[in-house]
């Protein structure tokens, strides 16, 4: 052990430093930079809202509520090429219905599959199978949407048309499944199937996480009371994870409503409100924006901005609600 | 003297050979039934086989378990079959997608794909002419510019939530979540309304990258946050105890410790935007020649190339689209696997 030798070189005594908990300048600068960086999400979301409103405001004001309730989309010009504000109509009701319809179909198809998959991954799969399957499902979440679009158009659509005909044949008496005239191609049903395949990974991974948080002592208790695996799941896992699964489904709903390219390839944009899911007419707001953007004049662009604003607000509300529900489920029962 | 022969450890929960034979028989019976029923009824197609097999198999399992072990376990066997069918339905599309892309894409793959662009060819030309060099360089530039913008913002957001822990943590978490749900077309419209119309008045790679950043920031922020949360607090305390300021602790201790995780976050961010199509269609203009300047001129990219080739719809152009998809899928696969390997290495350390 060496001894520390303190050798006062001179008679000067260092002044005592003041003890303080006040952050130093460097730390304050650091905190400032990090905070302002973190607020970027607020700034960006705010700017999106501001600019879309700014661009779309004139259309929203001249169209009023008709923008949401009407289903006509026509730009009327007089002989001089000026736009006639009286006759020009922009209404996205049909597109909104199509958006909600195809997203709902997607959730109805995807939710059971996702919940079952999550149950399989958590409670049935051997560890190595689980590892591979989790990777596969996560990979699917990373697939670009254009891939789903092309696959949906070339591969799924011929089969899905056949399924639609079967559905119509056996369940045609239900008004929802009526098809008149008999056009089965590019229907909300097919778009919903493609969207379902896109949101399955999202709902599966959220359900898997929620189910994985089930307190193990309750699971063991259920087994100790003589439960089979299924009755354990029904009595413990499903009630515990219910709200988390609902939140995950709503997150998927938000994703499905904002999807553009995949829907564009498999759904006809037709300006009529269509609740018949097997009929080849519909469209969603996002794909309508893409479709109209190419040939749109300045006034129409403004209307598209307004449509984008509505879509933005719609997905924002759905996502926030989903986030809230998922967050609520996390802390329960601990 | 007592008998000391060692008892072999047993695993009573494992199925005995007899049980395995029986379950194999049930499986076989299910397959046979599906063949018979599909042959006898007007049903047809792979789906009919799968469906009948599933019903028959579940039924046999149920009957067998009911007779030998009673109602509760019989119900359990149904649940097992249904749950297994769920994962099969979830994985079936991905297998179909991967299979289709490889089967249809490889016909359009040739060497000049990576050395030529499309300035002298149209997408309907024979498949071996032209290439997608312009698309690859364009996607590379878009991704690079988007990275330069989103990595600082994403990591700063994550650092704020794990290191500063100020009073905005909850709202920012919420906002990042909300931002990750912004539809890609809305991101495109926003850049159109905020940058293209008032300022640049022209399409370019840069404005496309701006829209992509909006989609990339939440991915990077959330993954980085998860990574930084995994850094043990001991490291932070050690850094401060050695006399470091918070800034030096974060910069010299926490961030280097999380390096591989932050790289994973970037990779996942790239995978998120590499195939993003809608904003690209609105903003980049999609040129056919290699354009190295992000700030002027139309910028080609893989999604744009695929979209254009798909929209033309001739056999040659569709083959091109599939080849483009195959290249894009390979990029996403490589990114995804490297992210996996990086994070595996991190957790095993």
A47 touches B at CB < 8 Å: yes
Q: What is the average pLDDT value for chain B, to the nearest integer?
A: 88
User: Does an H or E element contain A73, and which?
Assistant: strand A73-74
* pLDDT at position A334: 34
Q: Class of B133-348 per CATH? A: mainly alpha
Confidence band for A3, pLDDT divided at 50, 70 and 90: low
Question: Is the pLDDT score of A99 beyond 80?
Answer: yes
Measured in angstroms, the CA of A144 and the nearest CA of chain B are apart by 5
How many CB atoms are closer than 10 A to CB A240? 19
| DSSP SS3 for B285 | strand
* pLDDT at position B335: 92
Can you list the alpha helix ranges (DSSP code H) found in A123-232?
Answer: 127-142, 145-151, 157-171, 188-212, 216-224, 229-232
pLDDT in tens, B125-175: 887 787 888 999 999 999 999 999 999 999 999 999 998 888 889 999 999
Q: Which residue has the higher pLDDT, A98 or A20?
A: A98
Measured in angstroms, the CA of A33 and the nearest CA of chain B are apart by 8
Measured in angstroms, the CA of B128 and the nearest CA of chain A are apart by 22
CB contacts of B274 in chain A (<8 Å) are 144
CB contacts of B176 in chain A (<8 Å) are 41
Question: Is the pLDDT score of B42 beyond 90?
Answer: no
Which tokens in the block code for residue B35?
Answer: 């063949």
How many CB atoms are closer than 10 A to CB A172? 15
Confidence band for B37, pLDDT divided at 50, 70 and 90: confident
Which tokens in the block code for residue B256?
Answer: 């280097």
Contact present, B220 and B267 (Cβ < 8 Å): no
* pLDDT at position B347: 60
Q: What is the mean pLDDT of residues A144-152?
A: 92
* pLDDT at position B333: 92
Give me the percent of chain A exceeding a pLDDT of 70: 93
Q: Where are the domains of chain B?
A: 17-107, 133-348
User: For the whole model, what pTM was predicted?
Assistant: 0.89
Question: Is the pLDDT score of B216 beyond 90?
Answer: yes
pLDDT in tens, A103-125: 999 999 999 999 999 999 999 99
Lowest mean pLDDT among B42-51, B296-305, B326-335: B42-51
In order of A253, A270, A275, A278, A279, the CA distances from A175 in angstroms are: 24, 20, 9, 11, 12
CB contacts of B157 in chain A (<8 Å) are 37-38, 40-41
Contact present, A253 and A318 (Cβ < 8 Å): yes
| DSSP SS3 for B238 | helix
Using a 10 angstrom Cβ sphere, with 0-12 exposed, 13-18 middle and 19 or more buried, the burial of residue B83 is buried
Confidence band for A331, pLDDT divided at 50, 70 and 90: very low
Q: What is the mean pLDDT of residues A238-253?
A: 90
* pLDDT at position B141: 94
Contact present, A130 and A204 (Cβ < 8 Å): no
Contact present, A289 and A260 (Cβ < 8 Å): yes
Q: What is the average pLDDT value for chain A, to the nearest integer?
A: 86
A69-A70-A76 Cα angle (round to 5)? 150
B-contacting residues of A 61-90, CB under 8 Å? none
Q: Which residue has the higher pLDDT, A226 or A175?
A: A226
Q: How large is the ipTM?
A: 0.88
pLDDT in tens, B51-105: 888 888 889 889 988 988 888 889 999 999 999 999 999 999 999 999 999 999 9
Question: Is the pLDDT score of B182 beyond 90?
Answer: yes
* pLDDT at position A243: 87
| DSSP SS3 for A282 | strand
Give me the percent of chain B exceeding a pLDDT of 90: 45
What domains, with CATH codes, occur in chain A? Answer: 94-287+316-330 (1.10.3720.10)
Q: Which residue has the tokens 């719609």?
A: A314
B-contacting residues of A 293-332, CB under 8 Å? 293, 304-305, 308, 311-312, 315-316, 318-320, 323
Question: Is the pLDDT score of A18 beyond 70?
Answer: yes
């Amino acid at each position: 052990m060496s001894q520390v030798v303190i050798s006062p070189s001179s008679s000067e005594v260092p002044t005592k430093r003041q003890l303080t908990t006040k952050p130093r300048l460097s730390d304050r600068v650091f905190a400032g930079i990090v905070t302002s960086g973190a607020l970027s999400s607020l700034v960006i979301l705010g700017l999106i809202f501001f600019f879309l409103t700014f661009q779309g405001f004139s259309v929203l004001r001249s169209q009023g509520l008709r923008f949401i309730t009407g289903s006509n989309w026509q730009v009327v010009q007089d002989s001089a090429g000026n736009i006639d504000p009286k006759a020009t109509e922009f209404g996205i009701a049909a597109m909104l219905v199509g958006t909600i319809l195809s997203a709902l179909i997607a959730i109805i198809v995807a939710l059971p599959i996702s919940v079952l998959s999550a149950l399989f991954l958590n409670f049935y799969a051997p560890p190595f199978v689980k590892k591979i399957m989790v990777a596969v499902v996560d990979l699917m979440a990373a697939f670009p949407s254009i891939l789903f679009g092309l696959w949906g158009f070339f591969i799924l659509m011929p089969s899905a048309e056949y399924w639609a005909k079967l559905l119509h044949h056996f369940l045609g008496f239900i008004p929802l499944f009526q098809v008149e005239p008999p056009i089965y191609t590019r229907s909300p049903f097919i778009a919903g199937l493609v969207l379902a395949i896109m949101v399955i990974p999202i709902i599966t991974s959220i359900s898997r996480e929620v189910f994985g948080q089930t307190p193990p002592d309750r699971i063991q208790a259920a087994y100790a009371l003589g439960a089979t695996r299924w009755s354990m799941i029904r009595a413990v896992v499903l009630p515990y994870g219910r709200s988390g699964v609902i939140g995950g489904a709503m997150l998927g709903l938000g994703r499905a409503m904002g999807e553009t390219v995949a829907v564009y390839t498999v759904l006809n944009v037709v300006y009529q409100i269509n609740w018949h899911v097997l009929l080849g007419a519909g469209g969603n707001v996002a794909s309508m924006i893409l479709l109209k953007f190419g040939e749109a004049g300045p006034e129409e662009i403004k209307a598209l901005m307004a449509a984008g604003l509505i879509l933005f607000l719609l997905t924002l509300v759905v996502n926030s609600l989903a986030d809230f529900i998922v967050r609520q489920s996390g802390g329960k029962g601990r | 003297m007592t008998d000391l022969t060692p008892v072999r450890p047993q695993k009573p929960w494992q199925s005995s050979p007899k049980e395995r034979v029986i379950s194999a028989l049930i499986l076989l019976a299910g397959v046979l039934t599906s063949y018979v029923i599909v042959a006898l009824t007007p049903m047809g197609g792979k789906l009919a086989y799968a469906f009948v097999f599933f019903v028959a198999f579940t039924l046999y399992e149920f009957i067998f378990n009911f007779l030998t072990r009673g109602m509760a376990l019989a119900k359990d066997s149904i649940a097992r079959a249904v749950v297994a069918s769920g994962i099969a339905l979830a994985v079936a599309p991905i297998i179909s997608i991967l299979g289709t892309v490889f089967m249809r894409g490889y016909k359009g793959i040739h060497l000049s794909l990576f050395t030529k662009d499309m300035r002298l060819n149209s997408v309907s030309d024979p498949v071996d002419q032209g290439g997608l060099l312009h698309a690859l360089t364009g996607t590379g530039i878009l991704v690079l510019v988007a990275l330069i913008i989103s990595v600082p913002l994403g990591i700063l957001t994550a650092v704020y939530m794990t290191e500063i822990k100020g009073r905005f943590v909850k709202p920012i978490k919420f906002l990042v979540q909300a931002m990750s749900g912004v539809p890609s077309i809305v991101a495109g419209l926003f850049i159109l309304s905020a940058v293209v119309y008032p300022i640049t008045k022209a399409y370019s790679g840069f404005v496309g990258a701006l829209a992509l950043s909006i989609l990339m920031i939440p991915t990077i922020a959330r993954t980085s946050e998860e990574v930084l949360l995994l850094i043990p607090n001991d490291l932070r305390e050690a850094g401060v105890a050695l006399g470091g300021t918070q800034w030096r602790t974060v910069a010299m201790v926490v961030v280097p410790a999380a390096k591989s995780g932050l790289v994973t976050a970037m990779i996942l961010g790239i995978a998120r935007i590499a195939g993003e199509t809608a904003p690209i269609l609105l903003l980049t203009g999609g040129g056919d020649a290699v354009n190295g300047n992000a700030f002027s001129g139309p910028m080609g990219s893989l999604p744009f190339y695929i979209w254009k080739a798909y929209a033309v719809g001739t056999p040659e152009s569709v083959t091109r689209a599939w080849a483009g998809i195959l290249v894009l899928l390979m990029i996403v696969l490589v990114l995804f696997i490297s992210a996996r390997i990086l994070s595996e290495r991190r957790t095993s350390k």
